[in-house]
Structures are given as structure tokens and as C-alpha cells.
């Protein structure tokens, strides 16, 4: 019975709920509807989740408290999203890839790699059109710039940008400098 309800929820989400207005619109029906379907479809859904218009997500996704899936995002496979995660529009999570090892067989016939889960820590901000590749772990407090392609693990409190994504600063160091601003000389 649970599987039937989940399948029915997926169909109704795709046909109806996915196309409701954004959560920032005056119409709050969408926000409540997305939460309802999110709880039925997601592997685990935290408190006050936000699933935006056009988001595509699968049954293997865990979404933590006060976290959201952005407008037109794609989140499938074994993806664990922590608490207080903000996600811009069109972010894509890939847990598998195409095989291309052999040259005697067309790539389209080689299948896909084994699925590798993605873990997103708490208090993370993922910018518009970022791409998160298979097997990546993103630490707590990370900021991922728009359009970044994250192919490696990211340490906590990093700010990353680019393709491939690279750490440009650490938010803890910035905080240390702000905390020590009273000192006359550095």
C-alpha cells in the first residue's frame, strides 16, 4: 500500500504540483502542496522543507530541516541534503555517469557507472546552475558559486567557484579576521 501511495504521489506531483507558482509568489498553495508531496515521495523529509516549482526529485533523496530544492533543479539517486540548505535554480546532482572506457563499443551501449551517493552538509548555499558530480561530499557552511562544477569533496566553510570548482577562501578565516578587527595592527 505504501508503494502504491508513493507512486500515485509521484504521478500527481509530475502532472499537477510541479507547476504551481514559486514559493516567493503571493499564492502560498504551492508551498504547502510541495511539502505534502515531498513528504510522500522523498526518502526522508525534515521540518518546513521547500520544494520549488519545476523541481525534479527522486525517492532516494533525503532533505533536512528548513532546506529546499530550487526552481527546476534535478535531484535523483542517493542524495543526502542536510539542514538549512539553500539551493538556487537549475542545480543538478549526478550520482551516475556514462561509461566510456572501451573504444570498440559505442558509448551509448556501454551503460552507466555504479551509483555514488552525494552528501551535502548543513548550512550550505548552492548557487544557480551548479553541478554536483557523483560521490562528492560537501562540508558544513559551504558556499558554492553559480555555475560551479563540483567534482571533488569540499571542506567545511569553504567558498568554491569555477569549472572545475576550486576553493577561493575559507569562511572561518574571514570570521577570525572580523573577530580580531579591534587589533590595531595585523
Q: In the prediction, which pLDDT does 183 show? A: 45
pLDDT above 70 for 119: yes
Grid cell digits, residue 83: 539542514
CA distance 89 to 67: 14
Give the CATH architecture of domain 44-179. Answer: 3 Solenoid (2.160)
CA distance 169 to 154: 12
CA distance 40 to 153: 30
Q: What is the mean pLDDT of residues 131-153?
A: 98
- Cis-peptide, bond into residue 120, ω within 30° of zero: no
Q: Is 98 a catalytic residue?
A: yes
Q: In the prediction, which pLDDT does 85 show? A: 98
Whole-number CA gyration radius for the chain: 19
> What does the DSSP 8-state code read for residue 74?
E
Given the residues 48, 98, 166, 177, the one annotated as active site: 98
Q: Which whole-number Å values give the CA distances from 94 to 40, 61, 98, 162, in the listed order? A: 22, 12, 11, 17
Amino acid at each position: 500500500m505504501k508503494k502504491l501511495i508513493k507512486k500515485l504521489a509521484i504521478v500527481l506531483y509530475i502532472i499537477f504540483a510541479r507547476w504551481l507558482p514559486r514559493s516567493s509568489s503571493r499564492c502560498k498553495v504551492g508551498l504547502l502542496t510541495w511539502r505534502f508531496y515531498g513528504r510522500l515521495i522523498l526518502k526522508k523529509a525534515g521540518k518546513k522543507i521547500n520544494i520549488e516549482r519545476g523541481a525534479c526529485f527522486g525517492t532516494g533523496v533525503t532533505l533536512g530541516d528548513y532546506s529546499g530544492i530550487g526552481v527546476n533543479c534535478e535531484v535523483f539517486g542517493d542524495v543526502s541534503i542536510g539542514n538549512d540548505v539553500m539551493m538556487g535554480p537549475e542545480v543538478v546532482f549526478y550520482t551516475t555517469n556514462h561509461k566510456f572506457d572501451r573504444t570498440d563499443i559505442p558509448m551509448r551501449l556501454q551503460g552507466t557507472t555504479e551509483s555514488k551517493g552525494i552528501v551535502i552538509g548543513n548550512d550550505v548555499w548552492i548557487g544557480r546552475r551548479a553541478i554536483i558530480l557523483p560521490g562528492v561530499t560537501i562540508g558544513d557552511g559551504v558556499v558554492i558559486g553559480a555555475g560551479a562544477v563540483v567534482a571533488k569533496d569540499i571542506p567545511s566553510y569553504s567558498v568554491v567557484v569555477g569549472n572545475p570548482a576550486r576553493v577561493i577562501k575559507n569562511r572561518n578565516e574571514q570570521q577570525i579576521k572580523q573577530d580580531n578587527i579591534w587589533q590595531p595592527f595585523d
